[in-house]
Amino acid sequence: MSAYEACAAHTQRGELAVSSAGVFWLQTDPAEGNANLWYLSAQGPARLGPDWLGIRSRVNGYGGGALAVSENGVFVVGEDQQIRFIDLADGTCSLLTDDPGAAYGGLVADAPRQRVLAVREAGGEQQLVAVSVGGELRTLHSGQDFYSAPALSADGRKLAWTSWQLPDMPWVRSRLWTAGVVQDGGLCECRHWPTPSEASVQQPVFDRARLWVLSDHAGWWQPWYLDTLIGDGLWHSGQSAELDHANAPWQLGECHHCPLANGGWARVQYRNGSGELWLLSPEGGDAFRVARDYSDFRYLRASGGSLYCVARSATHLDAVLQIELQTGQARILAGGENPLPGSRPALPLDIEVPALEHGEQPVHGFFYTPKLASPELPPLILMAHGGPTSAAYPVFSPQVQYWCQRGFAVAEVNYRGSSGFGRKFRLALEGRWGEADVEDMERTADHLVSVGLVDGRRVFIQGRSSGGYTALMAMIQSRKFTAGASMFGVTDPLRLRAMTHRFESGYLDWLLGPPGANPERWRERTPLYHADCIAAPMIFFQGGQDKVVVPEQTRAMVDAMKAAGRTPELHWFEQEGHGFRHQANQADMLERMFSFYRRHGRKANERAENMS
């Protein structure tokens, strides 16, 4: 696999919606880079809507919920952030909102009232709104800083949603709300439902009189329900495993659990970072796991006797699945292509790094062995995921395969602060960014060396954005790494804080503590101020149009290293933004990184031989 092939834009499938009208999903066009609307026709997967219509929400910067379906049409959010309706009878595409400066997301169809519910963002505020097929905009609820996608009961009489307030992120603290929906479509009896203890709540969904929601007040994002008829505010356990049943809600409209007709359910749960899909049949009995060939599941939707979802695996591309509820049999409706025909990819192996202290959780990750045979132990590339409140998943990555085909072992590490391992582990990064994550990256390298899987003389570390920050802090604090790579990584958190968008405006203060009260900590955790501590080689990649990690952050870091007598490499891509989009530039970055690692890996070997 060449670098160009590794960076080829593989088809990706995202949001999924199901109604009596059929199965619909968003699919990224490899040539255009836009998400388009697809559906399952009698002849198979087919594109729907005008060719010019790209679909994407930018609410909170990360979007989500750009698709909803009713019995006679599809609501979507276009690239211009306005809502459109595609009539399934005649294929016409109508503009419903003409709202300059506003963005919409979290769409939910309200079929009985011929409208769509949504989160509207404009002027630094958000509201829950309804938009009719005639284009009438109505505010349903306001006053909270942020809103999730709403959930509507089957009879259309109840509405539920979650909200959160600055400076919190939704995975730290949020609130559950319900309201009645009156005859004219407005809300009544709005109230919030306090959790038994401080919690993050997400993904409310009605099942007749029960309101189900994922709450982590008991330590994990688990399903709980409230009885909306009694209204006593008691939280009842869904009798689930002590595992996270969702990941961090960066986007609107995610769905990892789904009630089934007559009392059954479908749930995703994350075990050691890998997703599992479990069903409890409406007929009762024991829950059983399905679709075992897949390791991550999103957008669960039930219709008729089937469950639909988007699934990912370590060996194939994203697939739209239909799962027969009685048997658990899975069928691919779209996608699931083999990305490496004629060869077998390197597969992820679970790794567990023992906890530092008794009572603490171990650190998990995924280890990929090289495909290139060699009598020597392989060099190791440690990858720090972005976020940082996110996770690495055991799913197909062409760039991981690129490294494995060239003789490198790769480890993706779910350091403290990652999602999918419970509330305590997720919040362990509070005030400790650039410390706890770095410790865990270093401990993972030590563990893999100690068990004889990799060559301790050739250990590299890399990351993108916040992962680049982790890599830089590791290079500053440790001498274990042969070399490091920062791809548009954060070098000056205080400058980033001054420029960040509203959704994350309190995030850096949570990760490092308020700067006014913790000036020394901010200075200690700012790579720019410690460029002279990086003794090993560094390579930097930066886009000239980056609006998140502005180009001056990387240029200042490189200049500071040069002033300290170091010789960092900087590769500048003037037309790229935050995350390179052009395949040729992505390939160039990979090739330059490979040359850099190979060159410094050889030098490390030569030094070791000379010392012996």
Rounded Cα–Cα distance for residues 154 and 207 (Å): 8
User: Is it the case that residue 30 has pLDDT exceeding 80?
Assistant: no
In a domain, 455, yes or no: yes
Strand pairing report for 137-142 and 35-41: unpaired
206 vs 343, residue with greater confidence: 206
Q: Are residues 367 and 477 in the same domain?
A: yes
For the chain, the straight-line distance linking the first and the last C-alpha, in angstroms and rounded, comes to 36
Q: How many residues does the chain have?
A: 612
- What would the mean pLDDT of 248-253 be, rounded to a whole number? 96
Q: Work out the number of other CB atoms within 10 angstroms of the CB of residue 207.
A: 17
Residues 6+ apart with CB under 8 A from 348: 314, 366, 367, 368, 394, 412
Q: Which of 259, 332, 282, 469 is nearest to 23 (CA)?
A: 332
Checking phi first, is residue 491 left (phi over 0); if not, alpha (psi -120 to 50) or beta?
alpha
CATH of the domain at 497: 3.40.50.1820
The pLDDT, as a whole number, for residue 231 is 81
Q: Are residues 270 and 401 in the same domain?
A: no
Rounded Cα–Cα distance for residues 212 and 235 (Å): 10
Amino acid at 368: Y
pLDDT one-digit tens code per residue, 442-462: 999 999 999 999 999 999 999
Rounded Cα–Cα distance for residues 7 and 301 (Å): 31
Q: Are residues 411 and 279 in the same domain?
A: no
499 vs 429, residue with greater confidence: 429
Rounded Cα–Cα distance for residues 433 and 507 (Å): 11
Rounded Cα–Cα distance for residues 372 and 1 (Å): 12
Rounded Cα–Cα distance for residues 251 and 330 (Å): 27
In a domain, 110, yes or no: no
pLDDT one-digit tens code per residue, 140-164: 999 999 999 999 999 999 999 999 9
In a domain, 231, yes or no: no
The pLDDT, as a whole number, for residue 357 is 83
Considering its fold, how many domains does the chain have in total? Answer: 2
In a domain, 288, yes or no: yes
CA angle 442, 445, 450 (to 5 degrees): 125
Q: Are residues 406 and 484 in the same domain?
A: yes
Query: 405, 374 in Cβ contact below 8 A?
Result: no
Query: 367, 381 in Cβ contact below 8 A?
Result: no
Q: Which of 445, 312, 335 is nearest to 384 (CA)?
A: 445
User: Is it the case that residue 170 has pLDDT exceeding 90?
Assistant: yes
Rounded Cα–Cα distance for residues 10 and 181 (Å): 43
User: Is it the case that residue 110 has pLDDT exceeding 80?
Assistant: yes
Q: Are residues 290 and 357 in the same domain?
A: no
pLDDT one-digit tens code per residue, 7-16: 876 788 999 9
Which of residues 307, 339, 371 is at a domain's end? Answer: 339
The pLDDT, as a whole number, for residue 31 is 63
Exposed, middle or buried, 68 (CB in 10 Å: 0-12/13-18/19+)? buried
Q: Are residues 325 and 373 in the same domain?
A: no
Rounded Cα–Cα distance for residues 117 and 132 (Å): 9
Rounded Cα–Cα distance for residues 115 and 454 (Å): 58
- What would the mean pLDDT of 557-573 be, rounded to a whole number? 97
In a domain, 268, yes or no: yes
Pick the range with the lowest mean pLDDT from 33-37, 165-169, 381-385, 535-539: 33-37
- Structure-token match 């349903």, residue found: 140
User: Is it the case that residue 612 has pLDDT exceeding 60?
Assistant: no
Calculate what percentage of the chain has a pLDDT beyond 90.
84
Residues 6+ apart with CB under 8 A from 399: 6, 7, 590
DSSP notation for 148-185: PPPEE-TTS-EEEEEEE-TT--TTT--EEEEEEE-TTS
The pLDDT, as a whole number, for residue 610 is 61
Report the chain's mean pLDDT, rounded to a whole number.
94
Q: Are residues 379 and 301 in the same domain?
A: no
Amino acid at 90: D
- pTM attached to this predicted model: 0.94
Q: Which of 55, 53, 52 is nearest to 77 (CA)?
A: 55
User: Is it the case that residue 191 has pLDDT exceeding 60?
Assistant: yes
Rounded Cα–Cα distance for residues 71 and 604 (Å): 64
Residue spans of alpha helices (H) in 201-316: none
In a domain, 301, yes or no: yes
pLDDT one-digit tens code per residue, 409-444: 999 999 999 999 999 999 999 999 999 999 999 999
HSE at residue 342, side-chain half, CA atoms within 13 A, is: 1
The pLDDT, as a whole number, for residue 9 is 64
Rounded Cα–Cα distance for residues 538 and 460 (Å): 10
Which of residues 318, 339, 360 is at a domain's end? Answer: 339
Q: Which of 284, 339, 275, 348 is nearest to 309 (CA)?
A: 275
Q: Are residues 311 and 373 in the same domain?
A: no
Give the dihedral of Cα atoms 249, 250, 256, 261; nearest 10 deg. Answer: 80
HSE at residue 438, side-chain half, CA atoms within 13 A, is: 20
231 has which bridge partners?
A: none
In a domain, 482, yes or no: yes
In a domain, 403, yes or no: yes
b/e sequence 527-548, b meaning 16+ C-beta within 10 Å: bbebbeebebbbbbbbbeebeb
**Tokens describing residue 500:** 């960040």
The pLDDT, as a whole number, for residue 253 is 95
Q: Are residues 434 and 486 in the same domain?
A: yes
User: Is it the case that residue 71 has pLDDT exceeding 80?
Assistant: yes
User: Is it the case that residue 530 has pLDDT exceeding 70?
Assistant: yes
The pLDDT, as a whole number, for residue 416 is 97
The pLDDT, as a whole number, for residue 7 is 81
Q: Distance of alpha carbon 51 from its chain centroid, rounded?
A: 28
Confidence of residue 609 (pLDDT cuts 50, 70, 90): low
Q: Are residues 362 and 302 in the same domain?
A: no
Rounded Cα–Cα distance for residues 59 and 105 (Å): 6
The pLDDT, as a whole number, for residue 28 is 86
Residues 6+ apart with CB under 8 A from 281: 260, 264, 288, 325, 326
Confidence of residue 535 (pLDDT cuts 50, 70, 90): very high
pLDDT one-digit tens code per residue, 472-492: 999 999 999 999 999 999 999
Q: Which of 549, 596, 534 is nearest to 571 (CA)?
A: 596
User: Is it the case that residue 351 has pLDDT exceeding 80?
Assistant: yes
Q: Are residues 323 and 354 in the same domain?
A: no
Which of residues 339, 374, 404 is at a domain's end? Answer: 339
Confidence of residue 550 (pLDDT cuts 50, 70, 90): confident
Q: Which of 316, 285, 320 is nearest to 300 (CA)?
A: 320
Q: Which of 385, 376, 377, 381 is nearest to 402 (CA)?
A: 381
Q: Are residues 335 and 357 in the same domain?
A: no
Q: What range does the domain containing 437 cover?
A: 349-611
User: Is it the case that residue 611 has pLDDT exceeding 60?
Assistant: no
86 vs 341, residue with greater confidence: 86
